[in-house]
Structure 1
Amino acid sequence: MTIQSIAVLTSGGDSQGMNAAVRAVVRSGLYHGLKVYGVQKGYYGLIHEEIQEMDLRSVGDILQRGGTILGTARCKEMMTPEGQQLAADNLRKRGIDALVVIGGDGSYQGANKLSKLGIRTMGLPGTIDNDISFTDYTIGFDTAVTVAVDAINKLRDTMSSHERASVVEVMGRHCGDIALLAGLASGAESILVPEVPFDLKEVADRMRDSFKSGKRHSIIILAEGVGHGEDIAQQITEYNGQDIRVTVLGHVQRGGAPTPSDRVLASRLGDFAVRKLLEGESGKACGIINGQLVTTDIDLVVNTKKPFKMDLYELALRLSQ
């Protein structure tokens, strides 16, 4: 069946570049002669019929903006078979032929359920955590790392001035990629992530030895999934007596203008999703692997854990002496 209309929604936590992806889906769809609809508040808006037709001007001047103009919300109803069926029925009732979902793992789970109910779906990886499998990078990850590195650079200046240590807690509940790349890019002495076991006494001993050797500062990058920064700092202090300050970057990592890299990635993936739907693909997740845009069955994506970049972790360890 020929696609004549599509809808797009953003779901889960917002990430920089979501607006660029929405813009690409809308304008690519219009370019190909489709009617395009925007769903407000993610799956909540799909279930409660907060759906509006969009035109070129609907997505004007949003490429550089963080957040999502469509809004996003958690939706417990979408976790039930009844909610999933209602969402599918609402799309069919409006004559919408396909749905593009921009979000992370939970958003993909919803898209997968809709696909199994016969809705043509395409997922775009919109999450700062970079925890979606079958794509090297997710939309928003580069910006989040850039924000973290900028903060760490500033902290290093003041830590050096006072000869102190700092624990910087970044986002990443189940995936340590932000901590890993931010730590590598900023020259952190230790990087603590959920994927790699560590001994806090060894971390404390390394910090003590680095100060004894003449270092004026020490930065530990901590993914939130490992534990609370204050707790980790207190345990390290109990081992080595070092004065440690804690900085929790929190949601600042999800805000602000997306980097050029995220804008380009989002634009490429948004257009790619529309073209693949027009070519007859469905139930897929779009990604980028080795610079090439790819699609993978969304059922496989949501059931596959993304491998940790152990080579980069070992590189950071070698260079942190």
Structure 2
Amino acid sequence: MMKEIKTIGVLTSGGDAPGMNAAVRAVVRTAISKGFKVMGIRHGYNGLITGDIYEMELRSVSEIIHRGGTILYTARCLEFKTKEGQQKAADRCKEYGIDALVVIGGDGSFRGARDLAALGIPCIGIPGTIDNDIACSEYTIGYDTAMNTAVEMIDKLRDTTQSHDRCSVVEVMGRNAGYIALNTGIAVGALSILIPERPYDIERDIIDRMNFTQKTGKHHFIIIVAEGVGRAQDIANEIQARTGVDSRATVLGHVQRGGSPSLRDRVTASSMGFQAVSLLEKGIYNRVVAVSADKIVDYDIDVALSMHKTIDTNMIDVASTISI
């Protein structure tokens, strides 16, 4: 039997990503325009368990589309991983009259949504993570902004690297996924790009390439390393020991999560938020909104979590061929 939905809750969970605010804004305004009541849940599943919940109005989401981070805040919640914590969260939904939940986050957030769905709380997931590592979606909210932030910073770093004939080893985010590293590396003309999906050999992938380019007259180098590959400082130390080239490590870190979201992230987030509420209006529950062939689609949450995503090997070939 279809559950009647009158009140929708919305939360952001896991790592923050630029564009999450745009998604929250779209959920709130779409829901209110369709006659739903909206409850904002602060600090992710932790706030759901503790009752950090408030009613949101149209003006609750004014002047946030251009802001990074998330006005709902976010947190990781170990208690929610337990059956007792999940039951507390489901009970809190019933206490506040929340009939369905929109969860903005990554795979871990969607697994939490699936657990709540099993307890009778209909859920819709929206993919928000700078790593672009959600298998069911070709694109995730925050990815474009994070890459542009990284490119901007590396372009500045290149100036001093070139001035001193140095090798700069730059560590970007991506513990288990090399999407930021690969695309950023191509965009900045990196000599070598090290990603988790492809085992590397420092002699073949860095030292030999440095030796070759030095013979052609190039004496400064940019190496991009996804954080899941290894420590940038260790790699820089080894490069300097083997080549004698002054090598410095730079870890971009959490700055990649911040900043005003790009046009693409604002539009994608807005479209996904609209789609999430539209699904609930139609009585379609327990889905993940995604991008496929540049269109907004949705998948059953179990199907979404069972899917796999692979890196585009053609882009690896592009990088290795032209960055010499």
State the percentage of identical aligned residues.
55
Q: Name structure 1 gaps, 5 residues minimum.
A: none
What is the CA deviation profile of residues 264-304 of structure 1, one whole-angstrom value per residue up to 9, with x for unaligned ones? 01000001100011112111110111111111122222233
Deviating 4+ runs (over 4 angstroms): none
- 1:313 shift after superposition: 1.4
Per the normalisation by structure 1, the TM-score is 0.98
**Equivalent AA in structure 1 for residue 231 of structure 2:** H
- 1:228 shift after superposition: 0.5
Q: Distance in 2 between matches of 1:271 and 1:163?
A: 50
Aligned to 1:243: 246
- 1:252 shift after superposition: 0.4
**Equivalent AA in structure 2 for residue 220 of structure 1:** I
Give the CA RMSD over aligned residues: 1.0
- 1:61 shift after superposition: 0.3
Q: Distance in 1 between matches of 2:213 and 2:107?
A: 40
Contact 1:6–1:29 (Cα < 8 Å) also in 2 = yes
Q: Name structure 2 gaps, 5 residues minimum.
A: none
| Match 1:253 to one of 249, 253, 256 | 256
- 1:147 shift after superposition: 0.4
Per the normalisation by structure 2, the TM-score is 0.97
Contact 1:205–1:240 (Cα < 8 Å) also in 2 = no
Q: Distance in 1 between matches of 2:239 and 2:286?
A: 47
The DSSP-based 3-state class of the residue aligned with 1:245 is: strand
In the TM superposition, 1:55-94 aligns within 5 A as 55-94=57-96
The DSSP-based 3-state class of the residue aligned with 2:299 is: strand
Q: Distance in 2 between matches of 1:99 and 1:105?
A: 16
In the TM superposition, 1:1-321 aligns within 5 A as 1-202=3-204, 203-321=206-324
Relative to structure 2, which stretch is displaced further, 84-93 or 165-174?
Answer: 84-93
The DSSP-based 3-state class of the residue aligned with 2:235 is: helix
Q: Distance in 1 between matches of 2:283 and 2:295?
A: 20
What is the CA deviation profile of residues 64-95 of structure 1, one whole-angstrom value per residue up to 9, with x for unaligned ones? 00000001111111100111111111112222
Tell me the matched-pair count.
321
